[in-house]
Amino acid sequence: MKPFVFFDLGQTLVSEWDFIDHFDQKFLELLNGFGARIDMKNYRAVRDSIIRDRKIGHGSVRELTIEVCGAVLPSGYGEPIVRRMDHAVKEGRRTLFRFADGAEQTLKQLSEKCELGIIANQSEDIVALLQSSGLDGYFRVKTISGAVGLKKPDPEIFALALKEAGRGAKDCIMVGDRLDTDICPANRLGMKTVRVTDSLFALQEPREQCEQAMATVSKLTQVPAAVDKMTG
């Protein structure tokens, strides 16, 4: 039976660097419009500290926005700025999300020896990117939080994906960028794990044994070799 490899999407299979630049510019303009008086270098230092220190928990853009506002503005600005950022975030997701360099090559190479799936914390709009890219056909299982009403690191979303795949955890590999939502829950279930560090969440450092990935790669295209070592 072929091994089953599950991928995270954001900052793993999907490159978000253009979106991050777009978000940072729009957010910085708003922060200064509300009186923050902060430049990009200092904004990114605050942002990175929040990510490194896990202050956004398992959340993403909304939580990050609120935490940064709390660090550089008086209290009470977080929610209004989240609302003001909503259009820029949605537009950025729609126009700037793209598959990472080498994604098709990676999926094609893996599909020759493995079955493939997705376990991702994303809204359902990500399905349009999957379909327009033509890469959705590589995935037998697509477990996306916006569609199933569960979010990583909840073990239930992993259990649902494993059930759809018809596999036990020990026969599966999880590929992701976040230690807290990808690597740790997958390790706890008994899956093998590969961490991709081409991500803002490369700032995370392991805090407990379950956050130690079995393999770490700097680029998506290095995943097939890591999988071969695990399954060979």
Per-chain mean pLDDT for the chain: 96
pLDDT value of position 24: 98
Cα separation, 68 vs 49, whole angstroms: 10
Of 50, 74, 96, the one marking the end of a domain is: 96
Same domain, 74 and 166: no
pLDDT value of position 120: 97
Cα separation, 56 vs 65, whole angstroms: 9
The total number of structural domains in the chain stands at: 2
Same domain, 50 and 136: no
Give me the mean pLDDT over the 220-226 stretch: 98
CATH number (domain holding residue 122): 3.40.50.1000
Same domain, 55 and 170: no
Give me the mean pLDDT over the 188-212 stretch: 98
Q: Are 120 and 9 in contact (CB under 8 A)?
A: yes
Neighbouring-strand partners of residue 194: 175, 215
Q: Classify residue 27 by its DSSP letter.
A: H
Of 62, 96, 130, the one marking the end of a domain is: 96
pLDDT value of position 127: 86
Same domain, 102 and 81: no
Q: What is the pLDDT of residues 14-68, one digit of tens each?
A: 999 999 999 999 999 999 999 999 999 999 999 999 999 999 988 889 999 999 9
For residue 214, how many other CB atoms are within 10 A of its CB?
A: 17
pLDDT value of position 80: 96
Same domain, 116 and 10: yes
Same domain, 55 and 24: yes
Same domain, 190 and 160: yes
pLDDT value of position 57: 86
Same domain, 55 and 22: yes
Q: Where are the alpha helices (DSSP H) in 7-125?
A: 17-33, 40-52, 61-72, 78-96, 103-111
Give me the mean pLDDT over the 203-211 stretch: 97
Q: What is the pLDDT of residues 123-144, one digit of tens each?
A: 988 988 999 999 999 999 999 9
Cα separation, 102 vs 113, whole angstroms: 18
Q: Classify residue 73 by its DSSP letter.
A: S
What percentage of the chain reaches a pLDDT higher than 70? 100
Find the domain containing 53 and state its range. Answer: 17-96
Same domain, 121 and 92: no
Same domain, 122 and 157: yes
Task: Answer whether residue 152 shows pLDDT above 90.
Answer: yes
Cα separation, 108 vs 91, whole angstroms: 30
HEC readout, 156-219: HHHHHHHHHHCCCHHHEEEEECCHHHHHHHHHHHCCEEEEECCCHHHHCCCCCHHHCCCEEECC
Of 96, 129, 145, the one marking the end of a domain is: 96
Q: Are 193 and 173 in contact (CB under 8 A)?
A: yes
Q: Are 227 and 6 in contact (CB under 8 A)?
A: no
Q: Which among 171, 163, 170, 89 has a CA at the least distance from the CA of 119? A: 163
Same domain, 173 and 205: yes
Same domain, 58 and 77: yes
Q: Which among 173, 186, 204, 155 has a CA at the least distance from the CA of 57? A: 204
pTM equals 0.96
